[in-house]
Structure formats: C-alpha cells, structure tokens
Amino acid sequence: MKLKVGVVGCGGVAQRWHLPALSKISESWPSKQGIEFVACCDLIQEKADAVAKQYGVRPYTDPGRMLAEEELDLVMVLTREQDRARAAITALKAGVNVFCEKAISDSIQKAEEMVRVAAEMNCALGVNFNYRFSPPYMKLKEMISSGKLGEPCFISFLSHGDCYHHIIDLNRYFMGEVKKVYARYLIEKDRAFILGERWLYTASRFKMVTFEFENGFAGDILGSDYMSYSHPLVSCTYAGTKGRATIPDIVGKVIYMPNDGEVTVWRPSFLEKRDFSITFENSIRAFIEAILRKEKPPVTGLDGLRALQIEEAILLSQEKGIPVKPY
Ligand SMILES: NC(=O)c1ccc[n+]([C@@H]2O[C@H](COP(=O)([O-])OP(=O)(O)OC[C@H]3O[C@@H](n4cnc5c(N)ncnc54)[C@H](O)[C@@H]3O)[C@@H](O)[C@H]2O)c1
C-alpha cells in the first residue's frame, strides 16, 4: 500500500528539511509501498507553485480544497504554531492522519482539541520531535533501556534557546513524567519574538529550568540565545548509577563513561555523522511506518500536548518565582 501525502505550509522547514526527507523516504520503499507525495498547499500561491514544480505535485492555496480534491492518507502540517491547529483539525475531521511540526500548537486549548479530534476520528496524530531520532539520542535511549547506565540519577542539557521545545521533550522522553519545574530567565524583551499572549520564543541572556520527575530524579536545561550557531547548539549528559553518557552535539558521538571501566566513544555510521537531515528522515519514517502497521505513532499528539503544558508551567514558574506542576 502507498500512503498519499499532502503538505500544508511550504515555508522554510518544509523546503529545507521535510520535502527532501520525504523524497528520500519514498525512494527507499519498493515501488508499490510506502508513500507518494501528491499535493502541497500554501496560502502564498508562489510558494505552493514552486514546491509543486520541484516535486511534480498539485498545488493548492486552501487546505480544505486540497482535502476535498485529493484522496489523502496523511497531511503534514508544516505551518507555524499559530496556524497549526486549524489545518490539522480540518484534516483530522476529514479522516486523514496528521503529522505536524513542533510545537504542536501555540495554545494548550488548541492542542487539547487536536488530540481529542484525532481520538474521535481514530486518526493518527504525530509531532515532529525529531531530536529523539538523532543517532546519538537513539543510542542513549538504547543504553538506558539495556541497563548499561544503571538506574537514573539525572539528565542535564546545555541548549540554545531555539532548541528549547526539543529539549523540554527530551527531558520527558528520557526521564518520564514531570512532577514540577522551576525556571529563571533573564529576558531581553527587545529581542523577543512573541506569539500571541505568551512567550514561545524568548530571546534571553540565560534560561535555567530544573525538572523534578515523578520517579524522583532530576533534570535541567541551562542555555542562552547568545550561544553561537557556529558551535554545537545542544549538549547533554545523562548520569546513571553505573556510568555516564555525554552527547556533545545534536548529531555525532556518544562518550560513554562507565563507573568501573575506560571511556569509550560510540560514533554513528559515516553517512549519519554530522547531518541534521537524518533526524527529519528518521522521525518522518518512524511515523509513516507506524501508520502502515496501524500502530500508535512514536511521538503522539499527547506527547506534543505534554511538552506544551511543561512549557506553560516553565513560563508560570518564571513569572511567579515558584516551582509549578505542569499537569
Ligand atoms: N523540528 C525542527 O527542528 C524545526 C526546525 C525549524 C523550524 N521548525 C518549526 O517549523 C514550523 C514552520 O517554520 P518555518 O520556518 O517553515 O515557517 P515559515 O513561515 O517559513 O513557513 C510557514 C508557511 O506556512 C504557510 N501557511 C500558514 N498558514 C497556512 C495555511 N492555513 N494553509 C497553508 N499554508 C499556510 C505560510 O504561508 C508559510 O509559507 C515552526 O513551527 C517551527 O517551530 C522545526
């Protein structure tokens, strides 16, 4: 079976990452299986036309019309957060599976509705938390699951402000549900990019978030928007009772430090080495494979909602100066 795919939002992230990843994925399946990219939609006609020409698909400027005229199995919603829920809910109500960019939406209420409609319509709703699919983070998950690092102690991230959505998700992904967060930011308001009423992207001198997880262990994020893009934007250390693992960059190696042995370095295969595009390819492929097998997506709408609730709690903690329970 071939899933027919339509894309809503033909901007930067679609053109740079998702569409090349879709091409690679569709080429990797035998001819009658996998996916077929058939239609694209952007409010701006020129953008839709440019993508349509490059990929040989039909262009639209209205998601509703695209859904009415195409028999789609999957819609990828690659608009910005504030434009996500409406397009996603239109597709879900038409009985079409949805894969959307992070953050799932710009408000908890809209995200809750997306999750509710997906459940009502029995459609898959996935969120692109693609850092989970970066080879070193996949390796870390395997090391934790195999017991190699022992029982958890803490997880700690240094992160550029632009990566915070992902790092909030990674904290929960590796350590489980969040009991409380405590946050302190030094925000420079003149450099902030405000979405709606809230600060979704805050340009900050520093952002500090500490996490207390339901299992009693700890996590943190410390970062700044002054961290230069010329150097790694995220580094991570996971400590367990039997050893530590450090990931110096989003893609690349894992340094393994067992408590009772020598340091060893795990490196991804040559092709995956320093290429961020692999995170999109792995994330989209995992979602599509789940749909084809009629299984739950690897990153669900609920995961997207939880990340947003944690983000909201972080903002509240920053405002009030107290620890906040996210859900
Ligand atoms: N996962 C990652 O690593 C990663 C990286 C970069 C960006 N992103 C996310 O990707 C999202 C999009 O970012 P971008 O830089 O591509 O934005 P963008 O503004 O370049 O593109 C968004 C496009 O959506 C179109 N659009 C808006 N509403 C629409 C609608 N109802 N129907 C059809 N088209 C519509 C706009 O016209 C625009 O062309 C953001 O939410 C961002 O957080 C994720």
186-213 pLDDT per residue, tens: 877 665 555 555 555 566 788 899 999 9
pLDDT for residue 274:
62
From the CA of 158, how far away is ligand 1's center (Å)? 26
pLDDT for residue 196:
52
Burial of 64 (C-beta count, 10 Å sphere; 0-12/13-18/19+): middle
Percent of residues, the chain, with pLDDT higher than 90: 83
Same domain, 219 and 72: no
Same domain, 214 and 104: no
Residues 238, 157 contacting (CB under 8 angstroms): no
In a domain, 295, yes or no: no
How many Å is the maximal CA-CA distance in the chain?
62
CATH of the domain at 267: 3.30.360.10
pLDDT for residue 31:
72
Residues 221, 235 contacting (CB under 8 angstroms): no
In a domain, 325, yes or no: no
- Which of 123, 154, 170 terminates a domain? The answer is 123
Same domain, 184 and 214: yes
Work out how many domains the chain is built from and give that number: 2
CATH of the domain at 41: 3.40.50.720
pLDDT for residue 86:
97
DSSP per-residue codes, 169-221:
HHHHHHH-SEEEEEEEEEE-GGG-EEETTEEEE--EEEEEEEEEETTS-EEEE
Looking at ligand 1, which residue's alpha carbon is closest to its atom 39?
Answer: 11
Q: What SS3 state is found at 290? A: helix
In a domain, 201, yes or no: yes
Same domain, 180 and 233: yes
pLDDT for residue 242:
98
Distance in angstroms (rounded) separating the CA atoms of residues 188 and 266: 39
From the CA of 99, how far away is ligand 1's center (Å)? 13
Distance in angstroms (rounded) separating the CA atoms of residues 170 and 69: 38
Tens of each residue's pLDDT in the chain, 327 residues: 789 999 999 999 999 999 999 999 998 887 777 899 999 999 999 999 999 999 999 999 999 999 999 999 999 999 999 999 999 999 999 999 999 999 999 999 999 999 999 999 999 999 999 999 999 999 999 999 999 999 999 999 999 988 999 999 999 999 999 999 999 988 776 655 555 555 555 667 888 999 999 999 999 999 988 888 899 999 999 999 999 999 999 999 999 999 999 999 999 887 666 689 999 999 999 999 999 999 999 999 999 999 999 999 998 998 899 999 999
Distance in angstroms (rounded) separating the CA atoms of residues 241 and 257: 11
Across 18-124, the runs of DSSP E, i.e. the strands, are 34-41, 58-60, 74-77, 97-101
Looking at ligand 1, which residue's alpha carbon is closest to its atom 37?
Answer: 43
Ligand 1 pocket by Cβ (under 6 Å): 8-14, 41-44, 47, 63, 78-81, 83, 87, 101-102, 128, 130
Residue in the block written with tokens 């903690």: 317
Looking at ligand 1, which residue's alpha carbon is closest to its atom 4?
Answer: 13
Nearest ligand 1 atom to the CA of 61 is 33
The sign one gets for the Cα dihedral 225, 226, 227, 230 is: positive
In a domain, 293, yes or no: no
- Which of 104, 123, 142 terminates a domain? The answer is 123
Same domain, 64 and 151: no
Looking at ligand 1, which residue's alpha carbon is closest to its atom 34?
Answer: 42
Looking at ligand 1, which residue's alpha carbon is closest to its atom 18?
Answer: 11
Please enumerate in sequence order all residues whose Cβ is within 8 A of that of 145, keeping only pairs 6 or more positions apart, or say none.
none
Distance in angstroms (rounded) separating the CA atoms of residues 247 and 251: 8
Distance in angstroms (rounded) separating the CA atoms of residues 165 and 309: 11
Same domain, 35 and 77: yes
Instruction: Point out which residues pair with 213 in neighbouring strands.
Output: 178
pLDDT for residue 170:
98
Same domain, 146 and 267: yes
Nearest to 208, CA basis, from 318, 319, 102? 318
pLDDT for residue 272:
63
Residue span of the structural domain in which 185 resides = 132-275+308-320
From the CA of 16, how far away is ligand 1's center (Å)? 11
Residues for the chain: how many in total? 327
From the CA of 44, how far away is ligand 1's center (Å)? 12
Nearest ligand 1 atom to the CA of 63 is 32
Two tokens, residue 178 = 């969040």
